[in-house]
Structure 1
Amino acid sequence: MLAALCMAWSPAHAGRPLTVDDAGVDEVGQGHVEVWWEGLRGQRGTLYAAPAFTPVEGLELGALLARDVGERHTLQGVQAKWLWSPAQADGCNAATSAGITHRRLPQGHSGGSVVALNMIGTCAAPWGVANANLGALRERGQPWRGTWGVSLEHNWGAVTPHVEAFGVQHGAPVFQAGARWEWAPGRQVDATVGRQQGRTLLSVGFAFGF
């Protein structure tokens, strides 16, 4: 359960609604906040809020607060992402991220924590942007498990659709599609629909820069 929730956390990702991270960060002194709901169709799901800020060139610091509406679990996490090379408008670059997320159960009991490490590659071209992730996560008291993800997105003016697939070792992969609409500079709304082992996953959210 905790590992599955943490796969949805990517405060420094390519921008909601992607789950697969990209090798890019905001400009120095800038940041963004993302807020979204995510869950299985027919269930109450989870609410997320994820701010991120770039204090120095090539380094982005992010945080997460999430609340499972049905089970009333809370997630709290922090993450850092740093670039190996500058993002390219036409070319490839790489980054690394590391984070820790803690789950708190009702009545304040601890639900364990997850440490995650991720290698990120991004290639941009006139036909779109491709992202690839390869990493590992470890729940407290459990062995390390591999994680992976690939995505492809293409910009059509203010609308950017995408397709992606991602998963955790020994778990079923998620296949997902979605789009974001930048209705004003630094302001967007977004949504996704995905499938995992016959189950439908939905999300809807918004983001703004500062």
Structure 2
Amino acid sequence: MQPTSSIAAPIILTLALVSSSLCLAGRPLAVDDANVNEVGAGHVEAWYARQPGGVNVWTVAPAYGLTEGMEIAASWARDASNQVNTTALQAKFRLTPSQKDGCNVGAAIGASRPNDGSGNTPYINGLLSCNMDAGSLHLNLGANRPPDGPTLNTWGLAFEREFGAMTAHVEYFGQEQASPTFQLGLRTELVKNVQIDGTVGHASGDALFSLGLKFQF
């Protein structure tokens, strides 16, 4: 039987695939927002993460606005500690118009697959984002089904706010049969269309961190 941490890792990775053009969520958040890229616009995110149990993971995740209100994304993650590669594909939908002052709803559906022969893990995620003067609030409620296992509920809550050139966030997320993660993060634009970011967090008694870059086009 696959360890819980091995099952959870690819699911948590897929939560952070995509970013928005109006709402603020995106890398380095793990909690997703309810918006999508504009048609013809996209980005590539790349990051290193130290995960529970001292697992070292490198990830590359492109996303592209395919049609109005729909974004497609993919990811490739290398678990260097256990020598496992995980790929994921996702479609994300903006279900209501984005608002600068107000809330909008989205949804994402996808699947991840490690190369260890354990099969696909399909997932679905409901997304709510609310923008206000104080910042942006994001709520995720979803589920995934690991191979030969029960359906597991997932959830996440995040708040982010701009401070000049910096945007900071705090988030709390998790899934059934795994310890939740508390995380803080910061991001800023290094040069035009290039973002640098990082997080620190805590889960399962372990200290976590990540460092990443995001390229927009």
TM-score range, shorter chain: over 0.9
In 1: Cα distance, 2:204 partner to 2:52 partner: 13
| Corresponding residue SS for 1:172 | coil
Equivalent residues of 1:3, 1:114 under 8 A apart: no
Instruction: Give the AA of the match of 2:174.
Output: G
What are the superposed Cα offsets for residues 57-115 of structure 1, whole Å, 9 maximum, x if unpaired? 1100000101111211000110000011121111100000001000003xxxx133211
Corresponding residue for residue 157 of structure 1: 164
In 2: Cα distance, 1:42 partner to 1:61 partner: 31
Instruction: Give the AA of the match of 2:61.
Output: A
Structure 1 residues 1-210: aligned runs within 5 Å? 1-9=6-14, 10-13=16-19, 14-40=25-51, 43=54, 45-105=56-116, 110-210=117-217
Residue 42 of structure 1 and its aligned partner are, at CA, apart by 8.9
What are the superposed Cα offsets for residues 33-77 of structure 1, whole Å, 9 maximum, x if unpaired? 000001148946010000000011110000010111121100011
Instruction: Give the AA of the match of 1:195.
Output: H
Residue 2 of structure 1 and its aligned partner are, at CA, apart by 2.4
Structure 1 segments, 4+ long, off by >4 Å, are none
Equivalent residues of 1:194, 1:201 under 8 A apart: yes
| Corresponding residue SS for 1:3 | helix
Give identity over the alignment, percent: 39
Residue 183 of structure 1 and its aligned partner are, at CA, apart by 2.2
In 2: Cα distance, 1:4 partner to 1:42 partner: 11
Equivalent residues of 1:2, 1:103 under 8 A apart: no
Instruction: Give the AA of the match of 2:31.
Output: V
In 1: Cα distance, 2:186 partner to 2:205 partner: 22
TM score, norm. by length of structure 1: 0.94
The gaps in structure 2 that reach 5 residues or longer are: 1-5, 20-24
| Corresponding residue SS for 2:118 | strand
TM score, norm. by length of structure 2: 0.91
Instruction: Give the AA of the match of 2:183.
Output: Q
Equivalent residues of 1:158, 1:183 under 8 A apart: no
**For this pair of structures, how many residues does the alignment match?**
206
Equivalent residues of 2:51, 2:57 under 8 A apart: no
What are the superposed Cα offsets for residues 143-178 of structure 1, whole Å, 9 maximum, x if unpaired? 101000000000112210100000001221100001
In 1: Cα distance, 2:115 partner to 2:148 partner: 16
Residue 30 of structure 1 and its aligned partner are, at CA, apart by 0.3
For the structure 1 residues 185 and 169, does the alpha-carbon distance in structure 2 shift closer, same or farther, using more than 3 Å as the test? same
